[in-house]
Structures are given as C-alpha cells and as structure tokens.
Structure 1
Amino acid sequence: MHQLTLPYPPSVNTYWRHVGPRVLISKHGRQYRTEVCNQLRTKRIKPIEGDLIVDITINPPDRRRRDVDNVLKALLDSLQFAGAFEDDSQIVRLTIEKHEPLPKDGKATVRIQALPADMELIDARTCLRCGYVFDSEGPHNRICNVCTMINRGLPECMPVVRGLKRHNGKVIR
C-alpha cells in the first residue's frame, strides 16, 4: 500500500493547452508532475501490479467552488508518470472526498492498494478507521474486524454534545 500526501493538483481546465493543432500539458501541469515524481522518488516507491483500489481525499487551497472530478486527470496521470502504478486502467475502484480547505496550500492525500487476489471486488471495502482493504460482509460493513474489536473497547456511554458529529468516539468536523 502507498499512502501519499501530495500538493493540490491543477484543474483539468488548466492542465491542457492548445498549441496550434496539438494539445499539450501546460507548464503548471508539468511542474505538478515533476513535484509528484520527486516525492515518489524520495520515498522509493515501486509500481504496484494487478487491480488497484485508490482512495483520494482533497483539501482545496481556498473556499472557491470546485468540482472534485476536475483534479482526477492531473493527479492520476502524474502518479502513473511517476511510477506508482503501470497504467491507470489498473484502477478498479476509485473514491474521492473533498474536505475543508487548507489556506494557501491545499493537498491531496492518496492511498493506493492492490486488490487481494483472493478477494472479489464486490466484497472488498476500505476500512474507514485504518484504511486497509478487507473482505466485507456487504456494503453496510465499512469497518474491518480488527477495528471493530478496537471500537468495542471504547466506553459505551459517550457524552452527547449537540451539533458535533462523532466517529469512533472522536469529534469530526
């Protein structure tokens, strides 16, 4: 499994440039690709083979309205170019979530995992607590058995505070 924290990717609207009859990756897109390559090179990441499950969490750099699908092309192409996987056609499940903005920076957290050979795609889920792929009992089951046992160790009476959401006993925003 690879877990990476990358800079916020350029939008597909700024990733490509038309130069005469040709379509090229823009200067901003090439710079982003170089940043991703450098980060993967320093972590010495090797390509994962086989079917992949990719989970992406993005934190935009500001509060402007943004479509989550506009960042996928630059992000996945850069990961492929950097050697995280051979080809993005290996991806059999792709999830993306948009969270609160991180002023000035923005970031994309990417988790790439191989689908275990003995597991069917329909049964594979990513645990919401630990992030690993596990053999699920159905779409309602989103916590692996190990994390379920850990959760059972939490106190049964968690104080209820109006207006706050909790996940595994922790306040989420």
Structure 2
Amino acid sequence: MKSFIAFMPFPPSVNSLFMNVARGGRIKTAKYRTWEKEADAFRPSGIIRLNGDVVACYTFGRPDKRRRDVANLERLLAIR
C-alpha cells in the first residue's frame, strides 16, 4: 500500500479567498495567492499514482485560539 503525507501551511478562511471586482467578477485575494504559493512548495517533486481506493485524512492545528469550522478548511482543499 502506497501512502503520501504532506504538511501544509494553515489555510486562510474561506470567507477571505475571493473578492468582488467592479465589473461583477471575482478574483483571488492576496492572502489566498500567498497561501497557494506556500502550499505548492509542499507538493511532491514527482507524480504519485494511487490505484484503487483512496482515503484522505486531514489533521488541522489551530494557529490561534479562535473557533473554526473544519468544513470550511476541507472546502478550501477541495477547491485546489
């Protein structure tokens, strides 16, 4: 059985990922773009092929004492 472990920086809040622009569009915020660059540094150098069933286990630490909704953190990882 193959496994892959990645330790990534703590993601920003889902509410601060995008901002609205004047002509009705949405763009990524600077905070989100910075996190993406930091997270990309943790990607493996080669391609990892996983055949069959895949189980994803997330462990989130708390960078501060605020309460957080774990579903928002999972959603961010699914957007990527």
Among 54, 74, 77, the alignment partner of 1:75 is: 77
Residue in 2 that maps onto 1:44: 45
Amino acid at match of 1:60: R
Aligned residues: 76
Compute the TM-score of the two structures, normalised by the length of structure 2.
0.77
Q: Secondary structure at the match of 1:55?
A: coil
1:11–1:71: 8 Å Cα contact kept in structure 2? yes
Amino acid at match of 1:73: R
Amino acid at match of 1:26: T
Compute the TM-score of the two structures, normalised by the length of structure 1.
0.39
Residue in 2 that maps onto 1:138: none
Among 33, 38, 42, the alignment partner of 1:35 is: 38
Measured against aligned partners, the alpha-carbon deviations of 1:83-134 in whole angstroms (never above 9, x if no partner) come to xxxxxxxxxxxxxxxxxxxxxxxxxxxxxxxxxxxxxxxxxxxxxxxxxxxx
Cα distance change of structure 1 residues 64 and 36 upon mapping to structure 2, 3 Å threshold:
same
2:16–2:29: 8 Å Cα contact kept in structure 1? yes
2:18–2:26: 8 Å Cα contact kept in structure 1? yes
| Identity rate, percent | 26
Cα distance change of structure 1 residues 47 and 76 upon mapping to structure 2, 3 Å threshold:
farther
Among 54, 59, 66, the alignment partner of 1:57 is: 59
Residue in 2 that maps onto 1:66: 68
Measured against aligned partners, the alpha-carbon deviations of 1:24-61 in whole angstroms (never above 9, x if no partner) come to 22111111111111221xx4142445553211010111
Q: Distance in 2 between matches of 1:62 and 1:45?
A: 34
Q: Distance in 1 between matches of 2:6 and 2:33?
A: 19
Residue in 2 that maps onto 1:19: 21
Q: Which runs of no fewer than 5 residues in structure 1 stay unpaired?
A: 79-173
Q: Secondary structure at the match of 1:17?
A: strand
The higher-RCO structure (CA 8 Å, 6+ apart) is 2
Q: Distance in 2 between matches of 1:45 and 1:2?
A: 12
Q: Which runs of no fewer than 5 residues in structure 2 stay unpaired?
A: none
Q: Which has the larger radius of gyration?
A: 1
2:7–2:42: 8 Å Cα contact kept in structure 1? no
More strand by share: 1
Displacement of 1:75 after TM fit?
2.6
Q: Distance in 2 between matches of 1:14 and 1:64?
A: 16
